[in-house]
Structure 1
Amino acid sequence: MISGTSADGIDAALVRFEAGAAPTRCELVIGRTYAWDAALRERLVALGQGGDARSLEELGTLDIQTAEAFAAAARALLEDAGVAPGEVAAIGSHGQTVRHRPAGAAFDGRHPFTWQIGDGAVIAERCGIATVADFRRRDVAAGGHGAPLMPAFHAALLGSPDEDRAALNLGGIANFTLLPAHGAVRGFDTGPANCLMDAWALRHLGTAFDADGAFAARGEVDPALLARLLDEPWFALPPPKSTGREQFQLDWVEARLGGGERPQDVQATLLELSAVTIAQALRAQQPATRRVLACGGGVRNGALLARLAERLPGVAVETTQAYGLDPDFVEAMGFAWLARQTLAGLPGNLPSVTGARGLRVLGTVHPAG
């Protein structure tokens, strides 16, 4: 289970793996997305965008409320699937990121951390299923970014010895897993995918996202605004790197507006920003890529996929569906895979991706009872 940067719902996937220590196939038995309570989502988004909790009391309560929502999603999924809790080996729960500071906190700049709330003990207790949670912090403790964590899963299921590929997750933030035919797997965040477009659509349309990029299609790219957005120093940083809503949110956009821009033109420019930064990152880091396999909510934005294809001539831009992975649930499936790794005592990170000092077994295990 995972709720991503956009906090647009809890993605839950029931997954069956083939036998063996290193499965190369997994089956999505059922996948569902469960809506957040509106008031709870509002607080989680505010925290994720850099806001502060009003008190320790509130933060502790939000941790438990988030866990209860994840547990309810797990129970609902099993009911929909007709599967008893005793048939499930474990739950892998990512939780909800409320702060991600792998390069150090603003407080003193010397203590990197990442924080995902949604107490795994509560999930285990409510579901009666062993729960693995808190996946990212061990990698950060080992000097890594704690993100992205999907590359090991992508490498196991999407790599090819015949061509250089890249798996592209289009969540709130975009990230790549580079899968060369020969050589080390790498991965990194490229910047915003949907988070800025979603926030702008919510403000001007009252909807959580811009369906199929229709709002952006009504506008025109503003070259001056695009140049100011691209001037962000973070884009020039080399991998390993990661980011989140606390950096790329509407305050960041508004600080770069000239004033008087039409809302639809800003939306078109934000879409172009995502396409440009994704394409530039791929060309810089793996120029021989022949195939991009996209997943995440952004695959439903046809305008974004079209712009990516235009900016990556000679590269096939597809979704993971053609390779047996439902693009809506790849990340949720990935956290099931990570939970499986943890229970087997196997590492879940890739130091070539996160920058950690070595391979680490990730997550905290909360037994069923």
Structure 2
Amino acid sequence: MLFLGVNTGTSADAVDCVAYEFDQGQQELLGGVSVDIHKKLRQEIMVAVEDDTMSISNLMSLRHQLTLVYAQAIEALLEKITLAPDDIKAIGLHGQTIHHRPHAQYPYSLQVEDAHQLADMVGIDVIGQFRSTDIATGGIGAPLIPAYHQYCLSQANKESGIFLNLGGIANVTICSPSSTSGWDIGPANALMDLWTQSCLQKPFDDAGVWARSGRIIDDLLAQWMQDPYLQKSLPKSTGRDYFSRAWLERYQLNDYPPVDVQATLCAFTVNSIRADMNRLASSHTGTPIYIYGKGVKNEFLMEQLAASLTDWPVSDTTTLGIDPEWLECGLFAWLAFCRDARIPIDLRSTTGARQPAILGARVRHSGLRA
């Protein structure tokens, strides 16, 4: 059976789409595409992330615009791998997270998408609302990916491994024969991207060249390492609505050379990851760390992580035969497969859910393509 996964990460720079075949417990990547989110829409997403009072009309406009990009990515992938909509069982759609508030009075996680519109545009059933299902069962909606990491390890005939995602937010999964745990550590690329956009008018620090040329501001780094989120106990999750432009504005960053702020933000990512590994993963020293996400393209960040995490062998997920660019998107293809096959996902040890649950809600297409 063939399933698509569609994802926009917290960096909000592109929509990724992958196709996977699942057969007799095995998965095979058939292909993937990444479609850029244009600058104006990306700016609207960033505004929405930090706006608690966004109007309904603006939200609906954002939903419509993003859904058009989702459809564009799906159609581009089908053309690339020469498949028709009838060949696809369903699409696993994540949507663009703008607010993740699992500890609010009325807990929620808001991903912007229009599954009904998308299903009719592309002529394929759409399965979404995975995080909302987890929250409904008492979880905090993130991270969802640890169960998929365990599945990926089993595909590689390995019992143990640590997965480190360098998206907008850094999250980690620790898999062993006896247990699986995972949590959001803090910012990976989110703050570095925001600072680069503000100072250089570029979407990101390509290969970490700018950060490499700066010097770490020790007193600023020390302040950041005291952030309340970093001190939280498990389970915990966060998002770009916390590590945001408003977060940066708490500090008088204009008092420092911009390049040194970037170097310090990179050090903040590295140090927060190292602190959590030392505090929460010390019993797993020697277990390989497999890194994935778009942060693997930041050569300076990868060098600093390898130098910092000396108690663990560090590589990217190509070691497991998995393209680090597509792993996170593959999660949503897998979740769609699990929903279709009615396979419950056990997230009790990662999100605090009360019991295993069949995640997601299905929207069936009308049979009429736009």
TM-score tier by shorter-chain length is: over 0.9
Alignment match, 1:230 = 225
Once the two structures are superposed, the pairs formed by residues 1-369 of structure 1 within 5 Å of their partners are 1-17=6-22, 19-20=23-24, 23=25, 25-48=26-49, 50-52=50-52, 54-104=54-104, 110-158=105-153, 164-180=160-176, 182-257=177-252, 259-287=254-282, 288-289=284-285, 290-369=287-366
Alpha-carbon displacement from aligned partner over 1:212-249 (angstroms, at most 9, x marks no partner): 11000110111100011111111010111111111101
1:95 is paired with a residue whose SS is strand
For 1:70 and 1:161, locate their aligned partners in 2 and report how far apart those are by CA, in whole Å: 34
Is the 1:294–1:318 Cα contact (8 Å) retained in structure 2? yes
Deviation at 1:163, TM superposition (A): 6.6
2:8 is paired with a residue whose SS is coil
For 1:259 and 1:88, locate their aligned partners in 2 and report how far apart those are by CA, in whole Å: 51
For 2:280 and 2:175, locate their aligned partners in 1 and report how far apart those are by CA, in whole Å: 11
1:351 is paired with a residue whose SS is coil
Deviation at 1:314, TM superposition (A): 3.0
Alignment match, 2:3 = none
Is the 1:171–1:297 Cα contact (8 Å) retained in structure 2? yes
For 1:11 and 1:59, locate their aligned partners in 2 and report how far apart those are by CA, in whole Å: 22
1:2 is paired with a residue whose SS is strand
Is the 2:14–2:34 Cα contact (8 Å) retained in structure 1? yes
Question: Cα RMSD over matched residues?
Answer: 1.6
Deviation at 1:84, TM superposition (A): 0.9
Q: Assess, with a 3 A threshold, how the Cα gap between structure 1 residues 192 and 235 changes in structure 2: closer, same or farther.
A: same
2:247 is paired with a residue whose SS is helix
Is the 1:166–1:178 Cα contact (8 Å) retained in structure 2? yes
For 1:163 and 1:310, locate their aligned partners in 2 and report how far apart those are by CA, in whole Å: 26
153-162 or 184-193: bigger deviation: 153-162
Give the TM-score normalised by structure 1: 0.93
Is the 1:305–1:317 Cα contact (8 Å) retained in structure 2? no
Deviation at 1:162, TM superposition (A): 6.6
Question: What amino acid does structure 2 have at the position aligned with 1:343?
Answer: D
Deviation at 1:296, TM superposition (A): 0.3
Question: What amino acid does structure 2 have at the position aligned with 1:293?
Answer: Y
Is the 1:68–1:122 Cα contact (8 Å) retained in structure 2? no
279-288 or 240-249: bigger deviation: 279-288
Alpha-carbon displacement from aligned partner over 1:192-218 (angstroms, at most 9, x marks no partner): 000000111111121111111100011
Deviation at 1:338, TM superposition (A): 0.4
Alpha-carbon displacement from aligned partner over 1:297-327 (angstroms, at most 9, x marks no partner): 0011111111111211131111111212110
* Number of aligned residue pairs: 358
Give the TM-score normalised by structure 2: 0.93
Gaps of 5+ in 1: 105-109
Runs of 4+ off more than 4 Å: 159-164
Q: Assess, with a 3 A threshold, how the Cα gap between structure 1 residues 258 and 70 changes in structure 2: closer, same or farther.
A: closer
Alignment match, 1:107 = none
Q: Percent identity?
A: 37
Is the 1:149–1:349 Cα contact (8 Å) retained in structure 2? no
Q: Assess, with a 3 A threshold, how the Cα gap between structure 1 residues 53 and 37 changes in structure 2: closer, same or farther.
A: farther
